[in-house]
Structure 1
Amino acid sequence: MASLQSILRPIPQATNSPAVLPHRSQSSIRFTRFRSHHVQNLRNTRRLYFRGFRIMASIADTVDHTSDAPVLTSSEVIERLRARRENQENQQEYLAMYSSVFGGITTDPAAMVIPIDDHMVHRGHGVFDTAAIVDGYLYELDQHLDRILKSASMAKINLPIPYDREMIRRILIRTVSASKCRNGSLRYWLSAGPGDFQLSSSGCHLSALYAVVIQGKPPSRPKGIKVITSSVPMKPPQFAIMKSVNYLPNVLSKMEAEEKGAYASIWLDSDGFIAEGPNMNVALITNDKEFIMPHFDKILSGCTAKRIINLAERLVKEGKLRSISCENITMEEGKKADEMMLIGSGVLVSPVLQWDEQIIGDGKEGPLVQALFDLLIEDMKSGPPTVRIPVPY
């Protein structure tokens, strides 16, 4: 049985085309030489079978606490990671991962790990971004890449040596190519890197780049949703405009919405104006057919939101919209809007039908939100080369 080190063998980081690390075949977990006097009990407990893995169940009920933490070999670790993934339900499918730590790409989900002493893990010192994969094309990769580099600069994260923007771009495209994914998403991170458990990253000798390809489905028309006003304080502008991994306020805001039967929460800034959702921008269409979005000075500059502003110009030319602007919007003004939407790479253009107890417009999915969604889908499927990059499979 191969060791973890052999699966994630180092590959020189300076290569222009990262190597693809092989996906090992699955084999059963074998429990041998248990020294506990409870071995007979273990053998008699019920067994669960998952694609060739035989996993002893109810171990915690039949062994004493001194046996709860066996010392494992690297190969046993990787096999248990595989078995754990087999036992998970409704999980996302990870098709490929690039890591500058091991200098290549792996297609084995069990090997898609990062060091525990990476400062992104225990200090949140990292930034990330995402690009959609639609019909074998990466959508707005360059725009998202520019944003993560800006976020990295704000977070004082230098690029790993010898990486530069173009090398990162090639690696991201190569990772999607190795995954064979034609519809899904590419998520990637720049981290202060592994090194120690100190607060400062001065002990991290080399920052790190990670990327994961996640299987998805072709984009489809979203249904109308409900939102609430978030009671979770939003991040101050210095951190809100940076796409960092410090997402605990976003997580709590999203969970608060779900607990109240809503899809997402809407943040108001310190002046009481509409800000953003936990991971999406907010836009409104007034009774006068004005398309309005909050200023980006206190919130994340959404790549999809900025693209929607550009695409909406077509509706102005067609006379369906009167104007497009970024303004300060109060919650009261927002709830009186004719149409409301959430915009982001994950939600695309989702119509909001209710905010707290207030029904938006006539409570139905409005025609202009649908028109903007159609423009975005058209752009994702047949837009110009500036937003669509073919993946060389």
Structure 2
Amino acid sequence: MAKQVYLNGELVPQAEAKVSVFDHGLLYGDGVFEGLRAYRGKVFRLTQHIDRLYDSAKGIWLEIPLTREAMADAVDATVAANGLSDCYIRLIVTRGAGSLGLDPRKCSNPQVIIIADSIALYPAEFYEKGLEIITSSVIRNHPAALSPRIKSLNYLNNILAKIEGIQAGCIEALMLNHKGEVAECTGDNLFLVKKGGLSTPSLEAGILDGITRDFVLEIAAEQGVPAVERPLTKHDVYIADECFLTGTAAEIIPVVKVDSRVIGDGKPGPITRRLEKRFREETGK
């Protein structure tokens, strides 16, 4: 059965899901998106994702032509129409078709697109054995130029860092901010474990306000694991006892080597495993 894509109020076959070549989402990356997950037929933290989508849209002066409640219903309907229980969902809102210029006032009819499909961001073996990553020379966008808290359709900054990682034989790369501090990876937030406590960069480091990141902070508190949001350097990463990444697509994945430095004993650590277990319990995975 052909995949059904939600497009502006209708579910249409994948081959018929089309937007104009004059859409500013295509021409300029002018739009916003969310990545969501459904587990056992229920979308994980749907309200938080919808809220972040609308915050991103407000940040770029884009009015979404649906209420939040209607958007949530459309996400659920798309998952159901594709007969999926566990899946990844991409929710996109573009500026709409306009002229060959930057003026958003000359665009009309923002496009609302919802895709439900399977995804495997990293091979299963890396969840068991851990990732090896490098630090990219590509710095994270300066937050005064483009707030990383806006999930815009322009991900070229992250893609350039991803390319550098791939060329170095790694499938993920760490990005620093304009101060030389640790920000995040190309598609994930980062956590360190040192002496039984968690550390992660704060939002002021120029990172995405990750929803899985927030969940990890919640379950750490629930389990009595101390956690702090603070500036981190590469040195902090190198000397960590454990390191792991979080994200909707990635979920929770351990990192065992960074820039050829072995993290801890080179194996996923006990706190990482505890948090992974609690995550699976919550999602039913």
- What interval of TM-score do these two structures reach, taking the shorter chain for normalisation? over 0.9
Q: 1:300 — aligned with what?
A: 208
**Max radius of gyration: which structure?**
1
Deviations 1:94-131 (A, max 9, x none): 8321111xx4011x221122211111000111000011
Does the residue aligned with 1:275 lie in a helix, a strand or coil?
A: strand
Q: 1:265 — aligned with what?
A: 173
CA pair 257-314 structure 1, distance change in 2 beyond 3 A: same
**Residue 315 (str. 1) matches residue 223 (str. 2):** yes
Write out aligned runs for 1:316-331 (5 A): 316=224, 321=225, 323-331=226-234
- What letter corresponds to residue 191 of structure 1 in structure 2? T
2: distance between equivalents of 1:113 and 1:141?
25
Q: 1:42 — aligned with what?
A: none
Pairwise CA distance, 1:258: 1.3
TM-score, normalisation: structure 1 = 0.68
Write out aligned runs for 1:129-208 (5 A): 129-160=34-65, 163-208=66-111
1: distance between equivalents of 2:241 and 2:276?
17
Pairwise CA distance, 1:378: 0.9
Pairwise CA distance, 1:215: 2.7
Deviations 1:285-308 (A, max 9, x none): 01x211111001221100000001
Deviations 1:174-216 (A, max 9, x none): 1111111111111111111113322111111222211111135
Unpaired segments of 5 or more residues in structure 1? 1-22, 24-93, 383-393
Contact between 2:88 and 2:119, CA under 8 Å: does it hold in 1?
A: yes
- What letter corresponds to residue 172 of structure 1 in structure 2? V
1: distance between equivalents of 2:140 and 2:22?
28
Q: 1:347 — aligned with what?
A: 250
Does the residue aligned with 1:171 lie in a helix, a strand or coil?
A: helix
Task: Tell me which of 369, 387, 391 is aligned to 2:272.
Answer: 369
2: distance between equivalents of 1:274 and 1:186?
28
Unpaired segments of 5 or more residues in structure 2? none
Contact between 1:119 and 1:191, CA under 8 Å: does it hold in 2?
A: yes
**Residue 109 (str. 1) matches residue 14 (str. 2):** yes
Contact between 2:139 and 2:178, CA under 8 Å: does it hold in 1?
A: no
Pairwise CA distance, 1:274: 0.9
**Residue 210 (str. 1) matches residue 113 (str. 2):** yes
What is the aligned residue count?
278
TM-score, normalisation: structure 2 = 0.93
Supply the RMSD in Å over aligned alpha carbons: 1.8
2: distance between equivalents of 1:188 and 1:215?
14
1: distance between equivalents of 2:163 and 2:18?
26
Write out aligned runs for 1:18-167 (5 A): 95-100=3-8, 103-106=9-12, 108-160=13-65, 163-167=66-70
1: distance between equivalents of 2:19 and 2:110?
12
Contact between 1:183 and 1:216, CA under 8 Å: does it hold in 2?
A: no
Q: 2:135 — aligned with what?
A: 229
**Residue 279 (str. 1) matches residue 184 (str. 2):** no
- What letter corresponds to residue 15 of structure 2 in structure 1? A
State the 4+ residue runs in structure 1 displaced beyond 3 angstroms: none
Deviations 1:137-177 (A, max 9, x none): 111111111101100000111112xx211111111111111
- What letter corresponds to residue 163 of structure 2 in structure 1? M
Pairwise CA distance, 1:269: 1.4
**Residue 291 (str. 1) matches residue 198 (str. 2):** yes
2: distance between equivalents of 1:271 and 1:197?
36
Deviations 1:203-257 (A, max 9, x none): 112222111111358x978130011011113211133121101101111111211
Deviations 1:339-377 (A, max 9, x none): 001111111111100001111001111111111111111
Deviations 1:12-42 (A, max 9, x none): xxxxxxxxxxx7xxxxxxxxxxxxxxxxxxx
2: distance between equivalents of 1:344 and 1:127?
17
Give the fraction of aligned pairs with identical amino acids, expressed as a percent. Answer: 27
Does the residue aligned with 1:276 lie in a helix, a strand or coil?
A: strand
- What letter corresponds to residue 377 of structure 1 in structure 2? R
Q: 1:31 — aligned with what?
A: none
Contact between 1:128 and 1:188, CA under 8 Å: does it hold in 2?
A: yes
2: distance between equivalents of 1:268 and 1:253?
10
CA pair 216-276 structure 1, distance change in 2 beyond 3 A: closer
